[in-house]
Chains A and B, each alone.
Chain A
Amino acid sequence: MILTRLQCPHCGEPFEPVDDRRVFVCDGCRQSFSPSPSVEGAVPSTELVALERAVVRPQRPLPAEGKIVLLPVWFVPIRWDALNVTVGAWPTEVRLPALGLARTQLLIKFASHLTRARGAWETLPTSRLTHAPAELAMEDAFAVSELVVFASVEGWPRDEQADRVEVPLGPPRLLDLPCQLDGLRLTDLVFGRSQHFEAGDSLRDQREEMALSLNEIMS
Chain B
Amino acid sequence: MSSPPSTAAGLGINCVQCGGVLRVKRDRALLQCEYCRAGFLQRSDGEVDLYAPVGPVDRRQAARALAQQLRLHGIEDFAVISGTLFHLPFWQVNGKVVGWQCYEERETLERDTAVQEHLAPRTRSVEETVSRDISLSLPACDIRGFGLVGVASQVETLPLKPLLVERLPDDQRVCLPVRTAEAAVRAARLSCSASMLPRRAARVRQRIQLIRTQLRLIYYPVWRLTYSSGGAHFDVTIDGVRGKVLRGSYPQRVRAGLGGWLAAAGLMGLLAPLDMAGGFAVWLVWAMARARGLGPPPAVSHLPGWLSDDLRPTRTVVREMEP
Contact = CB atoms under 8 A, between A and B. Distances in A.
Interface stretch (A16-24, A87-95, A204-212): A16-24
A91 to B, nearest CB: 15
B9 interface: yes
B63 interface: no
A108 B129 contact: yes
Contacts of B6: 2-3, 5, 46
A159 B8 contact: no
B8 A147 contact: no
Interface in A32-47: 35, 38, 41-44, 46-47
A15 interface: yes
B205 interface: yes
B205 A162 contact: yes
Interface residues of B, number: 45
Contact of B9 (A1, A17, A22, A144): A1
- Interface size class on chain A is 35 or more
A70 to B, nearest CB: 23
B205 A2 contact: no
Contact of B31 (A3, A11, A21, A140): A3
A9 B2 contact: yes
Contacts of A21: 27, 30
A105 B129 contact: yes
A104 interface: yes
Contacts of B2: 9, 47
Interface string B43-67: 1111101000000000000000000
A105 to B, nearest CB: 5
Given A12-B1, A19-B25, A105-B129, A147 B209 contact: yes
Interface string B1-40: 1110111110000001100000001110011100001111
Interface of A: 1-7, 9-12, 14-22, 35, 38, 41-44, 46-47, 101, 104-105, 108-109, 139-140, 143-144, 146-147, 150-151, 157, 159, 162-163
Interface of B: 1-3, 5-9, 16-17, 25-27, 30-32, 37-47, 49, 96, 98-100, 102, 127-131, 203, 205-207, 209, 211-212
